[in-house]
A and B are shown apart, each in its own frame.
Chain A
Amino acid sequence: MSTKRIAGAEIEKLIQLLAKVPGLGPRSARRAALHMIKKKDQLLTPLAGAMADAAEKVQICSVCANVDTQNPCSICTDPRRDSTTIIVVEDVADLWALERASEMSVSYHILGGTLSPLDGVGPDDLNIKTLVDRVVGGEVKELILAVNATVEGQTTAHYITSQLEDLNVKITRLAHGVPVGGELDYLDEGTLSAALRSRTNF
């Protein structure tokens, strides 16, 4: 039985595409589409223009694999950033999260995922070779492995470490432990034992 159409083909297509956006389902996509249609001049037209511009200009940085409208990206070309330290992340979303923290003004390298035998992702599917080339050919002194604290993330971190073990570069990783605002009583045993093992002087 076919579902009854409630709007023209163009609006249906808009709803269908919006429903593919993370966080939106068919119902919320319908609400979003309706909201944009109601605010056509303030929202729908500028949004369509911005999306067309982004689609036309977006590129993958040839140095760090970040997404930007220029190549190399604005992070790689920023002279104020310390290019001797590279933070290695899995995804662009992780880069944005670390930039929000504004703790370090350094360079990045995006792997594009993690090693995952279950999903058939091997070392050749990730940007590991370009990272090794950057370390071999550049002025890199420290590599900070900011991968997720999952088995797959840490497998990737250990693999990268083994690829760089003969090179004179300091390799560090993010600490594992108690989050800010975390109550010990509510933490899982794995996190607590990791926190205890990596305790620091007070």
Chain B
Amino acid sequence: MEWRDEGIIIGCKKHGETSLIVELMTPKHGRHLGLVRGGRSRKMQPFLQPGNRVEAVWRARIDEHLGTYQIEPVEMTAAKLMESAMGVNAIQLLGSHLRLLPERDPHEAMYSALEVLLEHLDQPEIAGPLMVKFEMRLLDELGFGLDLSCCAGSGVRDNLVYISPKSGQAVSAEAGAPWKDKLLPLPQFLMKTSNRECSVGDLADAFYMLGFFFDRDIYYPRGVKPPESRVGFLHAATKKWPVT
């Protein structure tokens, strides 16, 4: 078995004294692991870092094997990411999120979203909303997508300001008024019809709202803890947010 694909490193694990198990996100082969022999050498360690874009050749005798990677660097993003708290938390968070997807299952849309996000990690006002949209797409890919098209109660398509924690569907201001304390906030920058830009408050609301669905539908049923890096990313993005 052999394939060649581009990919972005999302995690590395030491294996023995000289090798690494590298976890790549690729467009055609999804999240895929492989052994890199000599991956802990001085020559290879700088480019075998999460966040770097690489060209990989995977080989194995049979498809079920872990297999070995031969990796060539394409774009070294990790060094830049390491300089900011937002960068390191983002790459750790993206890795944790992508690990929720099944292995070797292609998710081209997630790969494209990852690529775009990595390009903007030095700008919190862009990276913050992109991370929120990445999380929404991930929920969708995992089968728990939110429905922001119309109100769950009245069916109207305007003035949708809440989201129902029960159904994950949007709720209008009028229909949701009696239950507003129980509903989750729906930041307006997420609405396709809205031109409103994301503010720090909107970002915190979106993280709170999505965190609820991740906890209930993903982390709790799987028995895993929410990633610490999610809090770290929000904190770093809020701190670095440009003052208007």
Indicate whether A and B interact. Answer: yes
The interface of chain A, by Cβ under 8 A from chain B, is 22-23, 115, 117-119, 122-123, 149-151, 154-155, 158-159, 161-162, 176, 188-191, 193-194, 197
Q: Of residues 27 to 42 in B, which have CB atoms within 8 Å of A's CB atoms?
A: none
For chain B, the bracket of interface size reads 35 or more
Q: A190 near B52 (CB under 8 angstroms)?
A: yes
Q: A151 near B50 (CB under 8 angstroms)?
A: yes
The reply on B88 being an interface residue by CB < 8 A is yes
* Alpha-carbon distance A57/B52, docked complex (angstroms): 45
- With A117-B96, A118-B95, A155-B89 known as contacts, the answer to whether A188 contacts B82 (CB < 8 A) is no
The interface of chain B, by Cβ under 8 A from chain A, is 11-13, 17, 23, 45-47, 49-52, 73, 76, 78-85, 88-89, 91-92, 95-96, 99, 225, 227-229, 232, 235-236
B interface secondary structure, majority: mixed
- In the bound complex, residues from chain A placing their C-beta under 8 Å from that of B80 are 190, 193-194
- With A149-B82, A189-B76 known as contacts, the answer to whether A154 contacts B228 (CB < 8 A) is no
- With A158-B232, A190-B47 known as contacts, the answer to whether A117 contacts B92 (CB < 8 A) is yes
Of the candidates A22, A162, A176, A197, which one forms a contact with B85 in the assembled complex, judged by CB atoms under 8 Å apart? Answer: A162
- With A154-B88, A155-B89, A158-B88 known as contacts, the answer to whether A176 contacts B96 (CB < 8 A) is no
- In the bound complex, residues from chain B placing their C-beta under 8 Å from that of A23 are 17
* Alpha-carbon distance A155/B50, docked complex (angstroms): 12
Q: A117 near B228 (CB under 8 angstroms)?
A: yes
Q: A22 near B47 (CB under 8 angstroms)?
A: no
> In the complex, how many angstroms separate the beta carbon of B99 from the nearest chain A beta carbon?
8
User: With contacts A155-B89, A188-B76 known, what are 20 further pairs, Cβ within 8 A?
Assistant: A115-B92, A117-B92, A118-B99, A150-B45, A150-B49, A150-B82, A151-B50, A151-B91, A151-B92, A154-B83, A154-B88, A155-B88, A176-B82, A188-B46, A188-B47, A189-B73, A190-B46, A190-B79, A194-B82, A194-B83
Q: A155 near B229 (CB under 8 angstroms)?
A: yes
* Alpha-carbon distance A117/B24, docked complex (angstroms): 16
> In the complex, how many angstroms separate the beta carbon of B89 from the nearest chain A beta carbon?
7
- In the bound complex, residues from chain A placing their C-beta under 8 Å from that of B11 are 118
* Alpha-carbon distance A23/B18, docked complex (angstroms): 10
